[in-house]
Structure 1
């Protein structure tokens, strides 16, 4: 049996189709089909039912796929334990954080860490999605929503304040003429978006984007009033604060996988984040 074929089966189980598994693996669907067929032949069991629009697993296929997922999680644990055993600040630390915190706080703070430990590699992902520490996507994560679950080390390390900003030209308009820049449907659920909708009332939210950097650029261009993190906008010479009202700050959380809490390199990056964001 080719052990790699088990991973293909596990991904097929998660995605539900050959096309979905192929997309995750970065291959074509014929390759996925061929790998599954090879696994079926080596195990002597039919693992999938090949239908026109989907590829559901048989009962035996699901049972084996669940075992394969457990094997994958254990393999990631071996990697984490090996990483934690490193006694010097070398190797790679994978960090994921919201884009606004990466650009405004984390990247400027990395200079001293890199100077002190030139052999340390930081794999930094600016991503609003919640990366999975258990699946090996990251060693540490900075989040603006409270993490759930007990398998990770979680610490609240600071908060981010928000306020309304606009270009001087827009700021000079009477408030009842303001138009607003807001999130699109991908982030319509976040607390500051709900606050902005209530504050705007009948005034239009007519420019919708999916990230703070686009909203800042739109506000600088005079396209409306934006609710921005103060860490991004307060020192921006192209923007002025236009109202005293503001939503409650958003808490910032640091998450570390429990297997890595004592790894020197991970600890060094965590300490930097605690100091910088705090």
Structure 2
């Protein structure tokens, strides 16, 4: 048995499709299919049903995949222990955070850390989805939703303020003529979107996008009024704050896997992020 093939099966179970597993593994669809076929041959059991539009796991496949997922978790545990035991300011530290925090706060904050510790490597994942620390996707996570998980060290480290911004030309229009830039349906649930909808009332939310960088670009292009993080918008010379009203700031949390809380490299990055975000 090739143990790597078990890992492929675990990823297939977690992602739910061959295409999803291929994306997660960074390989093509055919490679995943071949690895599963090799595992089936070595075990002497069919593990997936190859249907026209899906590849559901068989009963045996699901049972073996659950064991493989447990093995994957233990492998990540070994990696974390090894990382923490290094006791040096070298190696790779993986950080995941919302894109706006990565671009506006985290990347500028790492400059001094890089100068002090040139042997450190940083892997930054600018994702809106909540990366799993338990599955090894990241060593540190900065989040704007309250984290969960018993295996993590969680600390609230600051907040992000929001306000309404537009070009001076838009700001000079009567407020009744304002048009608004908002999130699309993928983020319609976030608190600042609900606040914007209430503030806009009957006025149109007629430009929808899924991230703050696109909203800032739309506001700078004069396409409407956008509710933006102040840390981003205050640096834009072409935007002005249009009203004093604003939603409640969003809390920011730092999450560290408990196995890594004393690793010097992880601790140094965490301390720098706490300082920068505070």
Is the structural similarity TM-score above 0.5?
yes
Query: What CA distance in whole angstroms lies between the structure 1 residues aligned with 2:139 and 2:167?
Result: 39
SS in 2 for 1:147: coil
Query: What CA distance in whole angstroms lies between the structure 2 residues aligned with 1:126 and 1:28?
Result: 23
The within-5 A match list for 1:43-122 is: 43-122=43-122
Further displaced range: 15-24 or 62-71: 15-24
C-alpha spacing 1:32/1:97, structure 2 compared with 1 (3 Å)? closer
C-alpha spacing 1:31/1:121, structure 2 compared with 1 (3 Å)? closer
Q: CA deviation at 1:240?
A: 1.1
Is 2:184 aligned against 1:202? no
C-alpha spacing 1:154/1:59, structure 2 compared with 1 (3 Å)? same
**Structure-2 residue corresponding to 1:34:** 34
- TM-score w.r.t. length of structure 2: 0.95
Further displaced range: 117-126 or 44-53: 44-53
SS in 2 for 1:74: helix
Unaligned runs of 5+ in 1: none
Query: What CA distance in whole angstroms lies between the structure 2 residues aligned with 1:221 and 1:182?
Result: 15
Unaligned runs of 5+ in 2: none
Q: CA deviation at 1:30?
A: 4.0
SS in 1 for 2:164: strand
**Structure-2 residue corresponding to 1:247:** 247
**Structure-1 residue corresponding to 2:168:** 168
Runs of 4+ in 1 over 6 A off after TM superposition: none
Query: What CA distance in whole angstroms lies between the structure 2 residues aligned with 1:96 and 1:202?
Result: 37
Give the aligned CA root-mean-square deviation in angstroms.
Answer: 1.5
Query: What CA distance in whole angstroms lies between the structure 2 residues aligned with 1:30 and 1:109?
Result: 41
Query: How many correspondences in the alignment?
Result: 278
